[in-house]
Structures are given as structure tokens and as C-alpha cells.
Amino acid sequence: MTTRPPPRGGPKGRKPPAGKFQPYGERARTGPRTSARDAAERAARNRGDDAGARDPWTAAGTPHAVAAAAAAAAKPKPRPARDERKDAPPPRKAPPRPSVRPAAKAQPKSAEPRPEPSAPPAGQTRREQRAAASATLASGVQTLTVEPDEAGMRIDRFLTARFPLLPFTRVQSIVRKGELRVDGKRAKPNDRLEPGMSVRVPPLRLDQPTERPRSAAREQDDAEFIRSLILYEDADMMILNKPFGLAVQGGSGTVRHVDGLLAALTGPDGQKPRLVHRLDKDTAGCLIIAKTRLAAATLAKSFRSRAARKIYWALTAGVPRVRQGRVSTYLAKDEPTDADARMRVAKHGDEGASHALTYYAMVDQAAQKLSWLSFKPVTGRTHQLRAHAAHIGHPIVGDPKYFSVENWELPGGIQNRLHLLARRIVIPHPRTGRPVDVSAPLPPHMAQSWNLLGFDASRYDPIVEAPES
């Protein structure tokens, strides 16, 4: 039994004659046979535009002739004059074909009416358009540019100033998670900004302001309360005597705070007094407020360059053996995600650890049980004095976070409140450069303890002789 070889050639298994399909085998062009150009040429031949090219078996249909005709067809032909087109015989019309292409060509896309772009509302200025766009983008990604009067601001303070409705805890979370970019790089909360920097802000969930009208009587009460705390004031700055228990900034569950009360002192030009530094909620004493952005930037630079001198008073447990000393450690948060977490003494190189330096001096003591210590912090870390006092074995009385002395009882007549006072501050004036020296009085609970223990608040403070670095 013999078997037939497998078919070769075309789709029906037959090998085409050498001469019949030879022109297609030697095509000068590439691509599919049923291209748009082939279809156009076939249509032209059917209309009679090139009758000699209809028969592929004549001389005009040889491979060279086909290639030449294709090259000639590729060249653009000059458009005949109007008179010549009138004398030319009418072209032969091809029979209609059942196709949708002619109908589509009858109405090209360019003939369809296009909607005109909407113009901006009449009477709206460019600034109003930008403000409207900013309001629209309040829940999307934004790119902000640092202005000259914002130079030297911390990145978290920058966000708080730009977005007053954004809670400070949310600001810290944005920076901590790396969602913020400054010139394309991740930023830290204590990074400083320079004019012209680009700050990329992630989508924010802003608290919508309430529509209730503000009470004029309440604003007046807030303004009078803030003015009652002023220890020093001029056209550029003021120093407040912050009371015990009043927070400096808002947070979770904090409604009344210094930053919110300062809104009652907004001037006719819309300038609201600004915070320059912070104190713990239970720490009383000197708090510097800037009245302008330029003053805020200058005062902030004084703190960063350590040109500001601060002295704190505290009532501590026990009496230190060394009456005057120096505490140098590294501090890190126990819980990095908690803004008000307890600070612990860490080692150099630990994650989140920062160097902290404090000088201390004992001013007086009572019955070898309580000491009046004066502190001069060189650095400004969170809870630095409270953590350092506990580190040397003499925690501050009334400190709920760091006081851990066993079998220690609070003497009668002394309130269980944090006995820490920002007693004195000396800082160069933001405009003149001359030193501004201000001291705060003892808060009521510390004045009661000083009277009970027989401490004289006018006694010489040896901490002034401590080094500055």
C-alpha cells in the first residue's frame, strides 16, 4: 500500500504554477497582500484609471512593471486644473458593494461638532480660581512651595500653619509614616524648610469647620485671658506666663489650648500670633509667642543655634550627693508611634535616639528629703528635664510618668502636681538682636510648696554659672 505525500502549496494543497503567481512572489513591497494600498489600486483599476494594469499576464503585469507602477502610484500626483477636469470623461462608477465603509466615509470625524472647552466663570480673578482649585484639591495630593517668610520652619509646624483644621496628631502621623516628601525625599518632623522647597502633601481628611457663628463675648474673654498672662510684649513678640494644666497645642480630646486662644488676638491685617516653642501641659512658665512670620522664623533660628538661654526650677525627691553636675545621655521614645510617650535613656546608635545635655545645680534642700534644683538644658528634647531628673535618681515631685521612688510619701501640704517651672529665658530680640530677659513667678501650687518648705525664691541661683554647651 502506497501513501500520498502531504500536500504542499496553497490552502487547497496544490502548488501554484510558477508563472501565474510569480509577480506576487517578487513583490517589491512588504506586508499583507490585502493592504489598504492594494485595495485602493484594485478600485482604481476597476474604475478604468489604469486599464493596462488589469491583466497580470500582459507585459504591463510583469514583476518589473508591477514594481514600477507601485513606485509611480506612491508618488503624489499633481492635482489637475479645473478646466482639464471638466474635459475629462466621467469616471466609471463601480457597482455598489454591501459595505459600511462608504457610509462611514460620507461623514468624516472631522465634520462632527466638537464641544467647546468651558470658559472660567465671568468676573472670577486668577487668585480666586487658584483658591477654588486649592479647595477642590483639599482631599487630593498637593504640592506646596515654601515662601520666604516660612524659612526655617519645622516641617510639622509648616503643615500646622498651612492646614489649621488638621489635627497635630495627624500631622505627626503623616511625617512619621513617610507620606510627606520634600523635594522628592522623605522628611523628618524636625527637618527645617528653606524658601523655594517643594513639599508634596498626601490626601488630607480635613475637619470641616462648623457653621456656627463665633461668640464675640467669648473672643473677648479669650483675648483678656491671654493678655493677663503677658510678661513682656512689643511689636514683634510677647512672652506669656503659661499656667499649669493649659496645653500649648491641641490634640486628642484637647479643646482649650494656647494656640487656639491666640486666635482672639488676630490683628487687622489677619496676622495671628504664632508659637515659637512648646512646653508640656503641666509645665508652667515662660512661653515665647511671635507676632509676625518673620519674627517667628528669627526666634526659631535662635533656638536652633542655642542662642536662647533657659532656666527651669523643680522640686525633686531626695538630695543629690553632687550639688552641681552635668547629665549627658541619649533619649528615645518607648513607643515611637505615640506623640506623648515616655522617654527612656538609650544608647548611641539606637533607633530614634537623640543626644540630650543638661546642667543642674541644687539651690536649697529640706530635711534631706526634698531638693530645689535648677536646670539649664542645652538641648531641647521631649521630656528632657523630667527624664534626666529621674535618671540621676531624683525625679520631679508630681510627675506621673517618671516618678518611681519606692516607699516615698508626699509630704503633707504639698499638692501632687508637677513641680516644674520654666523660670527664666534670655533670647535675642528678632529685630534688634538685643537680649530679652524675662522671669516667670512660681505657679500657685509651687508657691505653696516653697512657703511650706521655707524656700526663698529670691535666693541666688548658681545655675547661671553653668557652661552654655
Active site residue 334: no
pTM (two decimals): 0.60
The cell for 457 is 525664691
pLDDT of residue 343: 92
DSSP string of 337-378, one letter each residue: T-TTPPEEEE-TT-TT-EEEEEEEEEEEEETTTEEEEEEEES
Query: Quick one: pLDDT at residue 110?
Result: 46
Going from the C-alpha of 453 to that of each of 25, 82, 314, 403, 409, the distances in angstroms are 115, 118, 13, 20, 15
Mean pLDDT per block of 10 residues along the chain (469 residues) reads 56 51 48 61 66 44 50 55 51 53 46 49 55 51 81 79 73 78 82 86 62 71 93 94 91 82 84 90 95 90 91 96 94 76 89 93 94 95 94 94 86 92 96 94 96 94 88
pLDDT value of residue 3? 59
In this prediction, residue 189 carries a pLDDT of 76
Q: What is the pLDDT of residue 5?
A: 61
Which pLDDT score, from 0 to 100, does residue 351 have? Answer: 87
What pLDDT was estimated at residue 74?
A: 54
| Residue of 280, 282, 399, 461 marked catalytic | 280
Distance (Å, whole) CA 453 – CA 161:
44
Q: Which residues contact 293 (CB under 8 A, 6 or more apart)?
A: 149, 150, 271, 274
pLDDT, residue 284, reads 96
Instruction: Determine the Cα–Cα distance for residues 406 and 381; give it in Å rounded to an integer.
Output: 27
